[in-house]
């Protein structure tokens, strides 16, 4: 067991590890399991809850009274951060790209219900959002507050620690079930989840492949983030581990029309999982990653006798913001 830094309980952990026999049958193998991080709780759950257990603990240790973070309008990370802030008695300010859509549904509705202050900041890059949040933090300080800034996706060494711990959790479940996993497949975006899984896999001796399906970035763009963040996370935890780009598996074949723009592959994946296993995935992250997994299975990327784990990172609330794109197919 690692000597983890400060952590507060926010999630319903461990999350279930379930077999998906009907999906496997529909696809003609391999054996499929799912790690249900859509069931972490915290305002419909998701992977960011694991990160926020460490991030909010760090914020409280620093004496913060306001949490500031950023994302797209339907950000699952922002919704979970707003919920975590409520549980910790902190104010939450969300800086969201784009303009006010007028109709607030999906995650935006939940942000409002959770009492977060929502600011739309226009057409700003992910890098530009760091400057925006720095400006908001200055405002909070000028008003006598104590801000804590969380970058997009909670993808810092503190946040990625949540998925180092997640691998430890998984290894315990595999031992209990006497189960071996050959491949873990999941949605990779801001890099925190994949970096944490990579560090955890090395630290706890997971011998399978860890494959991120990129939902937004080309491989070359994501690799640099993964290398830096994994090494920083290992140092944060006092682990004598080193990572280079060759240590990561990323597939960017499923970017489609771009981030947040689901098409037929996502639509088919969402419906197939719903109608075989009764499990819901979102159209931006888990739906795209699942579409990639389905395509890889159909292309024979996995042997029929292998076992593949799909790590469900949540996002169900976003379904309700994509009615026109998803209905009637």
99 is catalytic: no
Residue given tokens 């315990």 in the structure block: 172
DSSP 184: E
Between CA 33 and CA 86 the distance in angstroms is 33
Q: Assess contact for 84 and 43: CB atoms under 8 A.
A: no
- Predicted pLDDT at 214: 97
Instruction: Point out which residues pair with 209 in neighbouring strands.
Output: 183
Q: Which residues contact 171 (CB under 8 A, 6 or more apart)?
A: 204, 205, 206
Instruction: Point out which residues pair with 326 in neighbouring strands.
Output: none
- Predicted pLDDT at 328: 63
Q: Which residues contact 304 (CB under 8 A, 6 or more apart)?
A: 28, 29, 30
- Predicted pLDDT at 218: 95
Domain boundaries, the chain: 17-46+156-326, 49-153
Between CA 52 and CA 308 the distance in angstroms is 27
- Predicted pLDDT at 125: 85
The CATH architecture to which 49-153 belongs is 3-Layer(aba) Sandwich (3.40)
- Annotated catalytic residue, options 24, 75, 190, 230: 75
The CATH architecture to which 17-46+156-326 belongs is 3-Layer(aba) Sandwich (3.40)
pLDDT 10s digit of each residue in the chain, 329 long? Answer: 688 999 999 999 999 999 999 999 999 989 999 999 999 999 999 999 999 999 999 999 999 999 999 999 999 999 999 999 999 999 999 999 999 999 999 999 999 999 999 999 999 887 889 999 999 999 999 999 999 999 999 999 999 999 999 999 999 999 999 999 999 999 999 999 999 999 999 999 999 999 999 999 999 999 999 999 999 999 999 999 999 999 999 999 999 988 989 999 999 999 999 999 999 999 999 999 999 999 999 999 999 999 999 999 999 999 999 998 887 64
Between CA 157 and CA 165 the distance in angstroms is 12
- Predicted pLDDT at 110: 98
């Amino acid at each position: 067991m690692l000597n983890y830094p400060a952590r507060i309980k926010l999630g319903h952990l461990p999350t279930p590890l379930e077999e998906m026999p009907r999906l496997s049958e529909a696809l003609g193998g391999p054996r499929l399991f799912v790690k249900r991080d859509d069931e972490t709780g915290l305002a419909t759950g998701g992977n960011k809850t694991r990160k926020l257990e460490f991030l909010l603990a760090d914020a409280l240790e620093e004496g913060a009274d306001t949490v500031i973070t950023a994302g797209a309008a339907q950000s699952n990370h922002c919704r979970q951060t707003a919920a975590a802030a409520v549980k910790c008695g902190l104010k939450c300010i969300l800086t969201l790209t784009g303009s006010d859509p007028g109709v607030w549904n999906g995650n935006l509705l939940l942000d409002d219900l959770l009492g977060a202050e929502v600011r739309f900041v226009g057409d700003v890059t992910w890098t530009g959002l760091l400057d925006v949040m720095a400006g908001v933090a200055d405002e909070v300080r000028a008003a006598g507050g104590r801000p804590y800034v969380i970058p997009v996706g909670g993808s810092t060494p503190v946040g990625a620690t949540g998925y180092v711990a997640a691998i430890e959790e998984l290894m315990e479940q595999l031992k209990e079930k006497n189960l071996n996993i050959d491949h873990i497949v999941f949605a990779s975006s801001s890099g925190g989840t994949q970096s944490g899984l990579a560090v955890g896999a090395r630290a706890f001796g997971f011998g399978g492949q860890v494959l991120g399906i990129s939902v937004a970035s080309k491989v070359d763009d994501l690799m640099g983030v993964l290398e830096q963040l994994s090494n920083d996370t290992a140092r944060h935890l006092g682990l004598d581990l080193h990572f280079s780009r060759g240590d990561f598996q990323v597939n960017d074949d499923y970017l489609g029309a771009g981030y947040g723009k689901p098409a037929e592959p996502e639509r088919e994946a969402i419906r197939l999982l719903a109608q075989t296993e009764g499990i819901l995935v979102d159209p931006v992250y888990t739906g795209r990653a699942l579409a990639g997994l389905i395509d890889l299975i159909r292309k024979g990327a996995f042997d029929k006798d292998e076992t593949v784990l799909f790590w469900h990172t949540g996002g169900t609330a976003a379904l309700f913001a994509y009615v026109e794109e998803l209905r009637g197919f």
